[in-house]
Each structure stands twice: as C-alpha cells, then as structure tokens.
Chain A
Amino acid sequence: MILLTRKAEFSSAHFYWNDAWSPQENQRVFGKCANRNGHGHNYTLEVTVAGEVDPVSGFVVDLKQLKDILEREVVSVYDHRHLNLEVPEFATRIPTTENIAIAIWNRLDGKVPNAKLHRVRVYEMPDLFADYYGER
C-alpha cells in the first residue's frame, strides 16, 4: 500500500452557533466565532488516499481524476459560499474545522476509484487544522 495526497483550496464564510443555547452562552463558548454575520477563512484541504500501485500505469489513482473528484464533491460546493447558510450538512451541524473534515470525508468516501480514503486534513489557517481518519 502507498499513500497519496492531493491538496485543494476553498474560501468560505461561517459562524459558530448552537440554537439550543442562549445568545449569552453562545458568546461565552464561541467568542468572536459566534458573530452571526459570519467571518471567513482560506481553507486548505489535504486528501490522502491509500492504494496499490497499478503495475501498468504506475499510479494509485490518476491525479487528474482525483483533482476532478475534489472539485466536484467539495470545492464547487464550499468555495465562496457561506457554510452555515448554503451547504446542507451544516444546516444542523456547526461548521468547525473538525466537522468540516468529517463532512468532506463523508462526501468523498467511496468516490475515489481503486483507492481507500485514508485521511482528510483541513487547515482553517496555517496554525490550526483538523484530521479525520473515518474513526467512530
């Protein structure tokens, strides 16, 4: 098995808010992130897949194909969008970096031919990122 990683970028708006809590409680837990007008980040996505090298092509997956899958499944849905308001999985789930990594895993799982999803890493900024390995 070998691991292969492809990066993609998207820029999105979000805010953190739990409807079950009072505005004061949201403010206390989420601080600046609770501003209902939203704020934004340049996210970097790193998708790592595991697979066997095809003896003929020398590839695990065709990178062009992987790039297209990331574009179709993630970037075209998330880029220049408000995650809370425009992306269905975040209507009921707070778009934290952790939840974005999990949501991207769920979008990609089973979609990459000849390879198994190994890790989804999402950087909200260079000094903050979340990893998801499909663990429950």
Chain B
Amino acid sequence: MTGAPKAYLSRRYRLSASHRLHSEAYTPEQNRAAYGKCNNPHGHGHNYVVEVTFGGQVDEATGMVCNLAELDAFAQTNLLDRFDHMNLNTLETFQKLVPTTENFTIEVYRIFERFPGAKLTRVRIEETANNSFEYPAEYPTQIDDRKG
C-alpha cells in the first residue's frame, strides 16, 4: 500500500440531547456568573451535529478509507444509542465533568478513537449553527507530520 493516495473521509451524525452547565467547584453565584442561562437547573437542549474524520490510504480493492456501513454501525451503538435523546448530565461520563461541548467533543474523540476500521484524525461538533468545536486543534495533515 506504500505510495497509495491518502485521503480523509468525514461523516456527520445528528443527535439531540439536553444538558446543564454547572460546576460543583463553584458557588451558586459563581455558577450563574460563569454559565448564565446555561446554568438553568432544569437544563436545556441542542441538536448536535457530530462530524468525525478518518484518514488513511485508500484501499485498492474497495476505494475506501473505511467501510461506511461498519462506521455507521459503530456510531449507532457507541454514539447515538448512548447520547441521542438523553440528558448528558445524567450519564456516567459527565458525573465529574461539566457537559460543555468542549468536553463532549473530547469524549466523542475518545469513543471514535476505538473504531477498529480506520484512524480517527478529528472530531468536530456543532452545538448550534453558530457554535462549533474541533479536537484536536491541528489540521489533519499537520497531525500526520507530527506522528511521522
């Protein structure tokens, strides 16, 4: 496969979930000051768009970086079944971690890092049409440079 072109495949998944931004380390006043409306004790929700990117040499036989059916099945089990139509604060992951979209993005990265079919290069989450988060910060090709 040496010398085969290296491409990146990105797939978007949509999920809706509620959350409340609140830190146990802050006083109620500090929580309200830090998180504003997002500190509402009853929570609020978003339609999240989760974009995952995988990089690798394009397989000669399939023309693919990774098998989309396998990726979709992995996402169904490990992302959508776990987070879609859930209250993020009630989940194990966010018992000690504020469910900001920064933390959610890093958590989703840890999940898709375990996808056996291809190498994850980036996760990008849109919390709203105006807010999006990417992890890691480096551009895909820079990550390759760093890792040789």
Contacts and interface: CB of A to CB of B under 8 A. Distances in A.
A130 B69 contact: no
Interface of B: 3-14, 53, 58, 61-65, 67-69, 140-141, 144
Given A128-B68, A136-B3, A136-B6, A98 B12 contact: no
Nearest to B2: A136
Contact of A96 (B12, B53, B64, B141): B64
A29 interface: yes
B58 A98 contact: yes
Given A130-B9, A136-B4, A136-B5, 11 more contacts: A16-B62, A31-B69, A93-B63, A95-B63, A96-B62, A128-B10, A130-B8, A131-B7, A133-B6, A133-B8, A135-B6
B5 A97 contact: no
A78 to B, nearest CB: 16
Contacts of B58: 96, 98-99, 102
Given A99-B58, A135-B6, A128 B11 contact: yes
B3 A131 contact: no
Contact of B63 (A99, A127, A129, A135): A99
Which among B6, B8, B140 has the highest number of chain A CB atoms within 10 Å? B8
Contacts, number: 69
30 contacts: A20-B61, A21-B61, A29-B67, A31-B69, A94-B62, A96-B62, A96-B63, A98-B7, A98-B9, A98-B58, A98-B65, A99-B63, A101-B7, A102-B5, A102-B58, A127-B11, A127-B12, A127-B13, A127-B14, A128-B11, A130-B10, A130-B65, A131-B53, A131-B140, A132-B7, A133-B8, A133-B140, A133-B141, A135-B141, A136-B6
B79 to A, nearest CB: 13
A128 to B, nearest CB: 6
B59 to A, nearest CB: 9
Which among B53, B62, B144 has the highest number of chain A CB atoms within 10 Å? B62
Interface residues of A, number: 26
A58 interface: no
B7 to A, nearest CB: 4
